[in-house]
């Protein structure tokens, strides 16, 4: 049993074949998928997908609702109220994707911090875990998280690609770490391959971040280069090799960690 904690299933690259993508995920023993909500509109969209496919794939689909740092400029006076209403949906299991991205600054750093803190406070109020993104913003993200950490139930830094010092800083705050196909990259994933063994199994979760980050260790890659949940075993393989553990161990441990982190049993 595998759990993919980050799937952008509302992305337009999936619009024609969601059912087939989910069927292939099921055939690959992916028992649960957490669809990522990145804005109010996308959060509505992932909830709609959860509802639409619930009969065909029972207890398999869950989602987050939040405002991605790239969309932080769109935060309005009523945005948090709208997220609070969305979060009441039984298949919403976390607040996010939220955090800071100073790599491209698609939204202003100031707006990103305002949106991040507002979502941290919402997660605290609702007693829900956080699904977080961070790129080139670790010092500020850590500073904000240190301020709120005591009140936060749990939080995952998804698609972690930082260095050892940053990894240890997040682990010191007792946060979870999400690893994607970045670790499969024989060039830019090298540093991550060297440090991934430092993540305790009860803090490690895995994700495809599909349709992005197609695992580079796939022997034959789809011609459209689209990543999908059924390719999650390649992420497991790369982590297992880097940690000198078996793929079965990584599969079982990350699934158990995700079950606890997202409290799926309660959600269902
Ligand atoms: Zn992200």
Of 247, 230, 240, 238, give the one whose Cα is nearest residue 28.
230
CB atoms within 10 A of CB 85: 11
Taking the centre of ligand 1 as the mean of its atom positions, its distance from the CA of residue 230, in whole angstroms, is: 19
CB atoms within 10 A of CB 55: 7
Confidence at residue 25, expressed as pLDDT on a 0 to 100 scale: 98
Taking the centre of ligand 1 as the mean of its atom positions, its distance from the CA of residue 96, in whole angstroms, is: 10
Taking the centre of ligand 1 as the mean of its atom positions, its distance from the CA of residue 158, in whole angstroms, is: 6
> 67 near 44, Cβ under 8 Å?
no
DSSP state of 240: H
Taking the centre of ligand 1 as the mean of its atom positions, its distance from the CA of residue 134, in whole angstroms, is: 7
Mean pLDDT over residues 118-147, rounded? Answer: 98
- Give tens-digit pLDDT for 182-224: 999 999 999 999 999 999 999 999 999 999 999 999 999 999 9
- Give tens-digit pLDDT for 48-76: 999 999 999 999 999 999 999 999 999 99
Residue 268 has pLDDT above 60, yes or no: no
Please report, for the chain, how many H helices and E strands are present, in that order: 10, 8
3-state SS class at 11 = coil
Residue 266 has pLDDT above 70, yes or no: no
Please list all protein residues whose beta carbon sits less than 5 angstroms from ligand 1, which is an ion: 133
Taking each helix axis from N to C end, the angle separating 138-148 and 109-126, rounded to the nearest 10 degrees, works out to 30
| Element of type H or E holding 51 | helix 40-52
- Give tens-digit pLDDT for 168-187: 999 999 999 999 999 999 99
Q: What domains sit in the chain, N to C, each tagged with a CATH number?
A: 2-267 (3.20.20.140)
Determine the Cα angle at 21 with ends 18 and 25, to 5°.
Answer: 135
Residue 160 has pLDDT above 90, yes or no: yes
Residue 231 has pLDDT above 50, yes or no: yes
3-state SS class at 206 = strand
Mean pLDDT over residues 250-266, rounded? Answer: 93
Band (pLDDT 50/70/90 cuts) for residue 103 is: very high
> 183 near 239, Cβ under 8 Å?
yes
Mean pLDDT over residues 93-105, rounded? Answer: 97
CB atoms within 10 A of CB 121: 14
Residue 259 has pLDDT above 80, yes or no: yes
Taking the centre of ligand 1 as the mean of its atom positions, its distance from the CA of residue 24, in whole angstroms, is: 24
């Amino acid at each position: 049993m595998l759990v993919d904690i980050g799937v952008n299933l509302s992305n337009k690259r999936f619009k024609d074949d969601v059912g087939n993508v989910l069927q292939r995920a099921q055939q690959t023993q992916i028992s649960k998928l957490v669809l990522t909500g990145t804005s109010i509109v996308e959060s509505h969209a992932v909830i709609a997908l959860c509802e639409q496919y619930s009969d065909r794939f029972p207890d398999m689909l869950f989602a987050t609702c939040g405002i991605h740092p790239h969309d932080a400029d769109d935060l309005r006076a009523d945005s948090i109220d709208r997220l609070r209403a969305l979060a009441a949906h039984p298949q919403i299991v976390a607040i996010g994707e939220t955090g800071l991205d100073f790599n491209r600054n698609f939204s202003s750093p100031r707006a990103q911090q305002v949106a991040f803190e507002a979502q941290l406070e919402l997660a605290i109020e609702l007693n829900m875990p956080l699904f977080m993104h961070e790129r080139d913003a670790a010092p500020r993200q850590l500073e904000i998280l240190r301020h709120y950490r005591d009140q936060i139930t749990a939080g995952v830094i998804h698609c972690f690609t930082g260095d050892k010092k940053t990894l240890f800083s997040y682990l010191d705050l007792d946060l979870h770490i999400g690893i994607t196909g970045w670790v499969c990259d024989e060039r830019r994933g090298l540093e991550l391959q060297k440090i991934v063994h430092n993540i305790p199994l009860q803090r490690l979760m895995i994700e495809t971040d599909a349709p992005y980050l197609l695992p580079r260790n796939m022997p034959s890659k789809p011609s459209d280069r689209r990543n999908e949940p059924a390719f999650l075993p390649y992420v497991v393989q790369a982590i297992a090799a880097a940690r000198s553990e078996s793929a079965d161990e990584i599969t079982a441990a990350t699934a158990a960690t995700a079950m606890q982190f997202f409290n799926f049993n309660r959600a269902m």
